[in-house]
């Protein structure tokens, strides 16, 4: 961990999508996929976003990558609001921020060899003179744990783990500072996942990388992330450093997510019993009133049905949006 100013700051981010219907694609409503989400990532650290499918994690990642437009809020990179960047600054931003996605098979062009996949960004962005490109491709493969001969292979000739290493090498070709890993290890076998996680950790140490890590496997997120944000229906339910969040979760939703998987952690604080997570996450097009989680929460009171809880500190650096466990901290 470093004490520098954050590399990425997301403040009150909101992303709305229009719901369109019919031949004329008329707008008939709005889905608020992300609402009032704030977090920051110090340089050289990892921030994990977790939550069930549809809670808005990928939309946050896409907003950071400038693939969807923020409807409100601010995203600052290295102190600069990305909404106010001019074309050259935006181009620079796009190289400083790279992404690694879940399925490298669909994000790697099947008709390109690994060598070409890795050399294209170097050439297009003039990062290396032609004479140095071959050596740079070999270096990128090497730091991602692949021998130079992989430059001649095509995506279908590699295993899933090898393809993900190429996906990471392609992101590194741009010499980025922030890498958005959107479910980057979710599609891999457990043993391969561990290898890719180790690789991401080694690269972080060697290159000082910062990660925004989107995942649904809590043990993976806990392992790799310094800070974690738990999202529910587009809102941040809880955010804290990894250890206290997993050992002493404050939001009933976080507790329910953690309780849903076996937890061997001896420090895990057993709390008031929370109903297991049942049913689907409600549609963000028609969310419940008050606290969005109240229909699935055993601790919900009348206030939870009426009022949206504020994301308040329960301990320094540990925030929870819950009328019941966030503000009134239950004793251990
Ligand atoms: N382009 C879009 N148009 C309309 N709705 C969208 C669009 N993209 C996402 N959504 C909706 O926004 C909500 C959040 O989706 P998002 O993909 O960000 O969730 P997620 O937590 O990343 O889920 P998953 O883990 O399944 O990817 C969902 O209800 C989704 O249907």
Spell out the SS3 assignment of 109-139.
CCCCCHHHHHHHHHHHCCCCCHHHHHHHHHH
Convert the pLDDT of each residue in 251-286 to its tens digit: 999 988 988 776 656 666 555 455 567 667 888 888
Atom of ligand 1 nearest to the CA of 52: 21
Residue 2: the pLDDT is: 47
Residue ID of nearest Cα to ligand 1 atom 16:
56
Q: Classify 290 in phi/psi space as left (phi over 0), alpha (psi -120 to 50) or beta.
A: left
Q: How far is the CA of 277 from the centre of ligand 1 (A)?
A: 20
Convert the pLDDT of each residue in 96-147 to its tens digit: 999 998 877 777 889 999 999 999 999 998 889 999 999 999 999 999 999 9
Q: Is 186 in the pocket of ligand 1 (CB under 6 A)?
A: no
The H or E element that residue 302 is part of is helix 302-306
Mutate to test the pocket of ligand 1, among 21, 49, 58 (most ligand atoms within 8 A of CB): 58
Q: What percentage of the chain reaches a pLDDT higher than 90?
A: 70
> What's phi and psi for 32, nearest 5 deg?
-90, 95
Is the separation of the CB atoms in 54 and 285 below 8 Å?
Answer: no
Mutate to test the pocket of ligand 1, among 15, 28, 48, 54 (most ligand atoms within 8 A of CB): 54
Q: Is the pLDDT assigned to residue 161 strictly greater than 80?
A: yes
* Long-range contact set of residues 63-67: C-beta below 8 Å, sequence gap at least 24: 63/10, 63/13, 63/15, 63/34, 64/8, 64/10, 64/97, 64/178, 64/180, 64/212, 65/97, 65/99, 65/180, 66/90, 66/93, 66/94
Mutate to test the pocket of ligand 1, among 27, 37, 48, 57 (most ligand atoms within 8 A of CB): 57
Residue ranges per domain, the chain? 251-332
Residue 38: the pLDDT is: 97
Q: Is the pLDDT assigned to residue 332 strictly greater than 80?
A: no
- Which of 81-95, 96-110, 312-326 is predicted most confidently? 81-95
Residue 102: the pLDDT is: 86
Give the pair of three-digit tokens for residue 296.
Answer: 């699935």
Mean pLDDT across the chain? 89
Q: Is the pLDDT assigned to residue 4 strictly greater than 80?
A: no
Residue 68: the pLDDT is: 95
Is the separation of the CB atoms in 164 and 100 below 8 Å?
Answer: yes
Convert the pLDDT of each residue in 192-220 to its tens digit: 999 999 999 999 999 999 999 999 889 89
Instruction: Write the CB contacts of 68 (distance below 8 Å, at least 6 apart in sequence).
Output: 15, 59, 62
Of the listed ranges 89-93, 101-105, 235-239, the least confidently predicted one is 101-105
Does the complex come out with an ipTM higher than 0.90?
Answer: yes
Residue 268: the pLDDT is: 61
Residue 330: the pLDDT is: 44
Residue 216: the pLDDT is: 85
Residue 265: the pLDDT is: 64
Q: What percentage of the chain reaches a pLDDT higher than 70?
A: 91
Q: How far is the CA of 72 from the centre of ligand 1 (A)?
A: 17
Residue 133: the pLDDT is: 95
Q: How far is the CA of 267 from the centre of ligand 1 (A)?
A: 34
- Better-predicted residue by pLDDT, 216 or 309: 309
Residue ID of nearest Cα to ligand 1 atom 25:
53
């Amino acid at each position: 961990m470093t004490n520098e100013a954050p590399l990425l700051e997301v403040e009150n981010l909101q992303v709305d999508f229009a719901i369109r219907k019919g031949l004329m694609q008329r707008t008939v409503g709005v889905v608020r996929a992300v609402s009032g989400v704030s977090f920051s990532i110090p340089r050289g650290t990892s921030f994990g976003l977790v939550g069930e499918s549809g809670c808005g994690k990928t939309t946050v990642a896409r907003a950071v990558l400038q693939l969807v437009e923020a409807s409100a809020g601010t995203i600052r990179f290295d102190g600069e609001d990305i909404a106010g960047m001019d074309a050259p600054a935006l181009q620079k931003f796009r190289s400083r921020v790279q992404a690694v996605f879940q399925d490298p098979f669909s994000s790697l062009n099947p008709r390109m060899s690994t060598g070409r996949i890795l050399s294209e960004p170097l050439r297009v962005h003039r990062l290396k003179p032609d004479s140095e490109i071959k050596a740079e491709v070999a270096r990128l493969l090497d730091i991602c744990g692949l021998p130079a001969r992989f430059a001649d292979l095509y995506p279908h000739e590699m295993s899933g783990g090898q393809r993900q290493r190429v996906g990471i090498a392609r992101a590194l070709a741009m010499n980025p500072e922030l890498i958005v890993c959107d479910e980057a290890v979710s599609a891999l076998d457990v043993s391969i996942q561990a290898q890719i996680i180790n690789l991401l950790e080694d690269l972080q140490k060697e290159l000082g990388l910062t990660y925004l890590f989107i995942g649904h496997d809590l043990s993976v997120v806990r392992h790799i992330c310094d800070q974690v944000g738990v999202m529910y229906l587009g809102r941040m339910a809880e955010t804290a450093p990894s250890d206290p969040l997993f050992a002493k979760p404050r939001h009933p939703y976080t507790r329910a997510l953690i309780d849903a998987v076996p937890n061997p952690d001896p420090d895990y604080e057993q709390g008031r019993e929370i109903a297991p997570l049942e049913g689907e996450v409600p549609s963000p097009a028609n969310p419940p009133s008050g606290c969005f989680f109240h229909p699935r929460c055993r601790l919900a009171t009348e206030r939870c049905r009426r009022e949206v809880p504020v994301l308040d500190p329960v301990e320094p650096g540990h925030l929870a949006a819950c009328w019941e466990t966030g503000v009134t901290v239950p004793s251990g």
